[in-house]
Structure 1
């Protein structure tokens, strides 16, 4: 499949790369890393990476803005996105051909070509293996820019190599990426430095989260609370993993209220939670998933189901 994707990339003059809404480092890393990889080997191609920008990821790069006509006869590649509803910028259908590259469960097998590897730690790791295939077959090169972006994506989706999705292959890829010329300190600082207002909100989370006897934990971040801390929902999402350091916790959910819906961020140290996420308009990885609730009553049902999942895992 990788060689087929490489040959398809080579055959198109214009390529538009999409990723999922509310992006994380792996979404940017795989999307923009692929863009940089293609341009390093096909400098005459027109390659664009689109989607709404998240300011917290400005340390990595910024997306392109394009008009509808760019999609005429273009190849569209969607990275790190499990289903069509989560693709940022629904113009992806305007291209001539769509390729899906993803590491989430393939519940929505969209696209004309599909490469899904649920064993990969991140989509950024997959893009690096695509480079390896291109290097062996066609002498592809990897630019320092691409290496920096892919490294950041891998760091983000593995939690600095702490998550169980990290494999020997992940370490091998990372060890090769760090041989390229980029500032790792800037990458880590961009990903993990926080403003004081976020640290204050993190303190609130530690002081107010609820956990039952089975290790199921939850915290509700209402619009009013976020406003008090001068934090927007995308910034609050950076704190989802902080409860992972709590002793005795099995799985947890962070609710982040927006104008018309409540974002449901699920994380786990063992119990499978993506099946639970699917019950509430979501999905994702077995230990890291997202969903959507439309009332606090529905959010309470998520908590109840999480408690059941943790109880059954004891």
Structure 2
């Protein structure tokens, strides 16, 4: 399979208007098949029309690619800040990185609202899912390529902005108590010898507690990460089941449509055959009638020709008799003339 060829067609169909997706996809599938790229055509046909919020996210990758790239970079910095915070190196960077991601997602959400409005869609019903998908894709490195290309078919499940969901933000260091006792006098400050021996052990215990605190935070972070991965895996499994069910439903619809098309073609062919048979019968009847007319006309013509031949013979005979009469008349006239002269 030519992956680059397929990718170019996939990128193209997710960039068209939402209502034009299916027609554009099917046109390109037909083109690929005509060009002999059957595997690519099958893979392209499997791509599904995006939901409205997923389509809006896809358009952001085309209309605001720099902003989308900035969001991905900010999310990567957020991940690094979370790791630094989990290792006990402070939470200031984490808060700043989190704020940066929130601001960028907010800007892109507003941009998506304009895209939906321009497309004739009310944005209010979709912007929460746009925001959720932007954040979920930004913090998941496996979704970065899909986000940059803008080829989402559906929105992504995500924790939203109620919490970052990847790492727990460490709490600020505890402030020293304000109700401490006043400094002790030098005499009072001198501890017993036993207490002097116990002090290093207490300091060690305190330091151990300080060292255990990041480890506990890491454990909590790891548990949250595993829980998030399990939830994402379950969501992906359900999404895959839904996708397969949708594919089966579409395949069944296409099969039924094909059966109906074939049945309609058979019905039309049968109707055409009956129409032609009726026309053949009518033409044969008309031809037979015309043949009888020709036969009668030919018989009449033969009769007329016979009568004409007889009339011609009679005319010839009459002309002969007339010539005889003329000869006799001339002879009689000459004889009469001779008698008159005598």
Which TM-score band applies after superposition, normalised by the shorter structure? under 0.3
Larger radius of gyration: 2
| Structure with more of its chain in strand, by fraction | 1
| Structure with more of its chain in helix, by fraction | 2
Higher relative contact order (CA 8 A, sep 6+): 2
TM-score (normalised: structure 1): 0.20
TM-score (normalised: structure 2): 0.19
